Structure 1
C-alpha cells in the first residue's frame, strides 16, 4: 500500500536506506513515498520538486521483496500522484527496461539545465542513464 511518509519519520527512512545498502537520506524539500506490507516499509522513493518538474531519487525495494512486481506497482502509484508533472531521474543502466515500462524515456541531451549538468557530473562516476517521464497537461 502506498503511503506518503511524514517528515518526522525521515530518520526511519534513512535507516531503511542504510539497511538496504543504499546511501543517502531524505531532505526537507523532498516528498518521501513508502510502500507498506502491513506495517512494514518494503520500498521507498524520494521526489524532489525542481521548478515545474520533479526529480525522482533513491527508489529502493527491500531485497527480500524484489522480483515480485512490487517495484512496478509502487512506481506506477507514485507516478499517478504526479500525473501532470515532468519527472526526471538517473537510474542505473541495468534498470532502463524497468523505468521504460514505467513510462520513462531516455533523454541524455534533453531536459532542464539543472538535470543535464547533474547528469554530466554523475555519469562520470556511476553507470547511470538520464530518463524522464513527460506528460501533457490537460
Structure 2
C-alpha cells in the first residue's frame, strides 16, 4: 500500500500525497529515534493548515451536518433549533464548530431576545488540533457575539485559551442562578470545569 502511494507522487501534489497516508502507516516510525515519528505527523498537519479556512453561520436546515461532525470529533454536543451554529471549513469539510445557545432567565418568555448566551460544544477535528485553528475560529466567533454577554463552562485547563478571547473567570457564588444551577449539576458529575463570561459591551451615549 505504502509503495503504491510513492508511485503516485508524480500525479499528486505534496498536500494530497501526505493526506493520503493512512493512520496504520505511522506505525513504521515506532522504535525510531526521538522525533522520527513526529516528523511525518507534523508535515501532515502543516500541509493541511496551508489550505484556506472559511467561516460561516449555518442555517438550521444544515444543523444535521454539525451533529455528524460532532460524532467525528468525539463531542457529545447536539444542535437545537434555537442555537446559533458557527463552523470553520476547509473546502467543503467542517473542521470546527460551536453552538451559541440562548439563556432565558426565570419568568422570561422564550419568544423574547435573551440577555445572556451560553457558548457550548466547541470542537475541532483531531487532525487540526494544535495548529491554531481553534484560536482563529474563536476570533471569528467573538466577532459574531458582538456586544452580547456570553457565558461558558470550559475545562479548567482551557482557562487561558478562553481568556485570550476576552472571557474571564467567575466564582460560582457570583454567577446568576441560570448559569450556576447547570454548573453545579455538571460538577456533581465529576467534571473539572469553570464558569467564565465575556461581558456585554455597553454602548456609550
Aligned counterpart in structure 1 of residue 85 of structure 2, from 17, 24, 32 = 32
TM-score normalized with structure 2 length: 0.65
Q: Does 54-63 or 105-114 show the bigger shift?
A: 105-114
**1:122 and 2:186 are equivalent in the alignment:** yes
For the aligned residues, what is the CA RMSD?
Answer: 1.1
Higher strand share: 1
Q: Matched residues in 2 for 1:27 and 1:44: separation?
A: 14
Aligned counterpart in structure 1 of residue 163 of structure 2, from 100, 122, 126 = 100
Q: Does 116-125 or 104-113 show the bigger shift?
A: 104-113
Give the CA deviation at 1:82: 1.3
Give the CA deviation at 1:114: 0.6
Gap runs ≥5 in structure 2:
1-53, 104-113
**1:18 and 2:71 are equivalent in the alignment:** yes
Higher helix share: 2
Instruction: Report what 1:136 is aligned to.
Output: 201
**1:71 and 2:124 are equivalent in the alignment:** no
Q: Matched residues in 2 for 1:69 and 1:135: separation?
A: 26
**1:80 and 2:143 are equivalent in the alignment:** yes
Classify the secondary structure of the residue corresponding to 1:36.
strand
Q: Which structure exhibits the higher relative contact order, with contacts defined as CA atoms closer than 8 Å and separated by 6 or more residues?
A: 1
Give the CA deviation at 1:11: 1.2
Q: Matched residues in 2 for 1:110 and 1:73: separation?
A: 30
Aligned counterpart in structure 1 of residue 154 of structure 2, from 87, 91, 106 = 91
Instruction: Report what 1:49 is aligned to.
Output: 102
Choose 1 or 2 for highest CA Rg.
2
List structure 1 segments (4+ residues) > 2 angstroms apart after TM superposition. Answer: 108-112
Describe the superposition over 1:32-79 as per-residue Cα deviations: whole angstroms up to 9, x where unpaired.
Answer: 000111111100000012220110000001110011111111111111
Instruction: Report what 2:42 is aligned to.
Output: none
